Structure 1
Amino acid sequence: MSPDRAVLQEAIDHGEREGGSVEFKERLTRTQHLEGGRLESLAAQLRHRVLSGDGEATYVVGVTDDGGIAGISHDAFSESMDVLSILAEEADAHIHDVQTWGVNGTGDGREDDHENGQDGGSGNGLVGVATVRTGAMLETDDDHIVVGTAGHVDHGKSTLIGSLVTGRADDGDGGTRGFMDVQPHEVERGLSADLSYGVYGFSDGEPVRMDNPHRKDDRAGVVREAERLVSFVDTVGHEPWLRTTIRGLVGQKLDYGLLTVAADDGPTRTTREHLGVLLATDLPTVVAITKIDLVDDERAAEVSREVERLLRDVGRTPLPVARHGVRTAIEEIDETVVPIVRTSAVTAEGLDTLDALFEKLPKQAADEGEFRMYIDRTYSVTGVGAVASGTVKSGSVETGDELLLGPLADGSFAEVEVRSIEMHYHRVDRASSGRIVGIALKGVREADIERGMVLLPREADPEPVREFEAEVMVLNHPTRIGTGYEPVVHLETVSEAAVFSPEGGRLLPGDTGRTRVRFKFRPYLVEEGQRFVFREGQSKGVGTVTGVNPTD
Structure 2
Amino acid sequence: MSADRAALQRALERGEREGGSVEFKERLTRSVHLADGRLESLAAQLRHRVLSGDGEATYVVGVTDDGGIAGISPEAFSESMDVLSLLAEEAGAHIDDVQTWGIGEGIVGVATLQEGAVLDVDDDHIVVGTAGHVDHGKSTLVGSLVTGDHDDGQGGTRGFLDVQPHEVDRGLSADLSYGVYGFDDEGPVRMDNPHRKSDRARVVEEADRLVSFVDTVGHEPWLRTTIRGLVGQKLDYGLLVVAADDGPTKTTREHLGILLATELPTIVAITKADMVSEERVSEVEREVERLLRNADKTPLSVDRHGVEAAIEEINEQVVPVLSTSAVTMEGLPVLDELFEHLPKTSATEGDFSMYIDRTYNVTGVGAVASGTVRSGSVEAGDELLVGPLADGAFRAVEVRSIEMHYHRVDEASAGRIVGIALKGISEADLERGMVLLPRDADPDPVREFEAEVMVLNHPTRIDDGYEPVVHLETVSETVSIHPEGGQLLPGDTGRAHIRFKFRPYMVEEGQRFVFREGSSKGVGTVTDVSVDGNRTEDS
- TM-score using structure 1 length: 0.67
Residue in structure 2 matched with residue 177 of structure 1 by the alignment: 158
The 1-side partners of 2:149 and 2:409 are apart by 29
Q: 1:378 to 1:4 in 2, by over 3 A?
A: farther
Match of 2:218 among 223, 227, 237: 237
Are the aligned partners of 1:145 and 1:434 in contact in 2 as well (CA < 8 Å)? no
Alignment of 1:30-49 (within 5 A): none
Alignment of 1:499-510 (within 5 A): 499-510=480-491
The 1-side partners of 2:384 and 2:149 are apart by 42
Residue in structure 2 matched with residue 391 of structure 1 by the alignment: 372
Q: CA offsets per residue over residues 403-434 of structure 1, 9 Å max, x none?
A: 444444454556352533325x6776543323
Are the aligned partners of 1:251 and 1:494 in contact in 2 as well (CA < 8 Å)? no
**Counterpart code for 2:450:** E
Alignment of 1:204-219 (within 5 A): 204-219=185-200
Match of 2:171 among 163, 178, 190: 190
Residue in structure 2 matched with residue 62 of structure 1 by the alignment: none
The 2-side partners of 1:184 and 1:202 are apart by 26
Question: Within the alignment, does 1:421 sit opposite 2:403 as a pair?
Answer: yes
Question: Within the alignment, does 1:301 sit opposite 2:282 as a pair?
Answer: yes
Are the aligned partners of 2:122 and 2:415 in contact in 1 as well (CA < 8 Å)? no
Are the aligned partners of 1:384 and 1:440 in contact in 2 as well (CA < 8 Å)? no
Question: Within the alignment, does 1:288 sit opposite 2:283 as a pair?
Answer: no
The alpha-carbon deviation at position 231 of structure 1 amounts to 2.4
Are the aligned partners of 1:247 and 1:492 in contact in 2 as well (CA < 8 Å)? no
Residue in structure 1 matched with residue 328 of structure 2 by the alignment: 347
Q: 1:141 to 1:204 in 2, by over 3 A?
A: farther
Residue in structure 1 matched with residue 29 of structure 2 by the alignment: none
Shifted more, 532-541 versus 259-268: the winner is 532-541
State the structure with more CA Rg.
Answer: 1
Are the aligned partners of 2:380 and 2:410 in contact in 1 as well (CA < 8 Å)? yes
Q: CA offsets per residue over residues 356-408 of structure 1, 9 Å max, x none?
A: 10110122273211122223456788887776554332112345545444444
The 1-side partners of 2:506 and 2:326 are apart by 41
Residue in structure 2 matched with residue 366 of structure 1 by the alignment: 347
Q: CA offsets per residue over residues 296-317 of structure 1, 9 Å max, x none?
A: 3333233223222322333333
The 1-side partners of 2:295 and 2:247 are apart by 17
Are the aligned partners of 1:469 and 1:515 in contact in 2 as well (CA < 8 Å)? yes
Are the aligned partners of 1:165 and 1:198 in contact in 2 as well (CA < 8 Å)? yes
Residue in structure 1 matched with residue 418 of structure 2 by the alignment: 438
Q: 1:4 to 1:475 in 2, by over 3 A?
A: closer
The alpha-carbon deviation at position 189 of structure 1 amounts to 4.3
Shifted more, 395-404 versus 231-240: the winner is 395-404
In structure 2, runs of 5+ residues without a counterpart are 11-50, 56-109
**Counterpart code for 2:451:** A
Question: Within the alignment, does 1:227 sit opposite 2:208 as a pair?
Answer: yes
3-state SS, counterpart of residue 223 of structure 1: helix
Residue in structure 1 matched with residue 469 of structure 2 by the alignment: 488
Q: What is the percentage of aligned positions where both structures have the same residue?
A: 74
Residue in structure 2 matched with residue 270 of structure 1 by the alignment: 251
Q: CA offsets per residue over residues 113-134 of structure 1, 9 Å max, x none?
A: 9985259xxxxxxxxxxxxxxx
Q: 1:501 to 1:291 in 2, by over 3 A?
A: same
Are the aligned partners of 2:133 and 2:242 in contact in 1 as well (CA < 8 Å)? yes
Are the aligned partners of 2:346 and 2:415 in contact in 1 as well (CA < 8 Å)? no
The 2-side partners of 1:5 and 1:389 are apart by 34
Are the aligned partners of 1:140 and 1:223 in contact in 2 as well (CA < 8 Å)? no
The 1-side partners of 2:326 and 2:407 are apart by 28
Q: 1:234 to 1:540 in 2, by over 3 A?
A: same
Shifted more, 337-346 versus 473-482: the winner is 473-482
In structure 1, runs of 5+ residues without a counterpart are 7-73, 79-112, 120-138
The 2-side partners of 1:149 and 1:527 are apart by 27
Residue in structure 2 matched with residue 125 of structure 1 by the alignment: none
The alpha-carbon deviation at position 351 of structure 1 amounts to 1.7
The 1-side partners of 2:327 and 2:393 are apart by 52
Are the aligned partners of 2:165 and 2:195 in contact in 1 as well (CA < 8 Å)? no
Are the aligned partners of 1:387 and 1:438 in contact in 2 as well (CA < 8 Å)? no
The alpha-carbon deviation at position 196 of structure 1 amounts to 2.7
Higher relative contact order (CA 8 A, sep 6+): 1
Residue in structure 2 matched with residue 164 of structure 1 by the alignment: 145
**Counterpart code for 1:372:** S
The alpha-carbon deviation at position 4 of structure 1 amounts to 13
Question: Within the alignment, does 1:117 sit opposite 2:114 as a pair?
Answer: yes
The alpha-carbon deviation at position 141 of structure 1 amounts to 6.6
Question: Within the alignment, does 1:259 sit opposite 2:256 as a pair?
Answer: no
The 2-side partners of 1:458 and 1:247 are apart by 29
The 2-side partners of 1:538 and 1:402 are apart by 43
Residue in structure 1 matched with residue 313 of structure 2 by the alignment: 332
The 1-side partners of 2:8 and 2:378 are apart by 32
Are the aligned partners of 1:470 and 1:516 in contact in 2 as well (CA < 8 Å)? yes
Match of 2:446 among 448, 465, 478: 465
3-state SS, counterpart of residue 307 of structure 1: helix
Q: 1:233 to 1:405 in 2, by over 3 A?
A: farther
Residue in structure 2 matched with residue 39 of structure 1 by the alignment: none
**Counterpart code for 2:421:** L
Q: CA offsets per residue over residues 38-70 of structure 1, 9 Å max, x none?
A: xxxxxxxxxxxxxxxxxxxxxxxxxxxxxxxxx
Q: 1:528 to 1:496 in 2, by over 3 A?
A: same
Match of 2:508 among 508, 527, 532: 527
The alpha-carbon deviation at position 445 of structure 1 amounts to 6.8
Residue in structure 2 matched with residue 32 of structure 1 by the alignment: none
Residue in structure 1 matched with residue 499 of structure 2 by the alignment: 518
3-state SS, counterpart of residue 282 of structure 2: helix
Q: 1:504 to 1:157 in 2, by over 3 A?
A: same
Shifted more, 215-224 versus 466-475: the winner is 215-224
The 2-side partners of 1:186 and 1:530 are apart by 36
The 2-side partners of 1:223 and 1:448 are apart by 37
Are the aligned partners of 2:402 and 2:411 in contact in 1 as well (CA < 8 Å)? no
The 2-side partners of 1:217 and 1:461 are apart by 46
3-state SS, counterpart of residue 233 of structure 1: strand
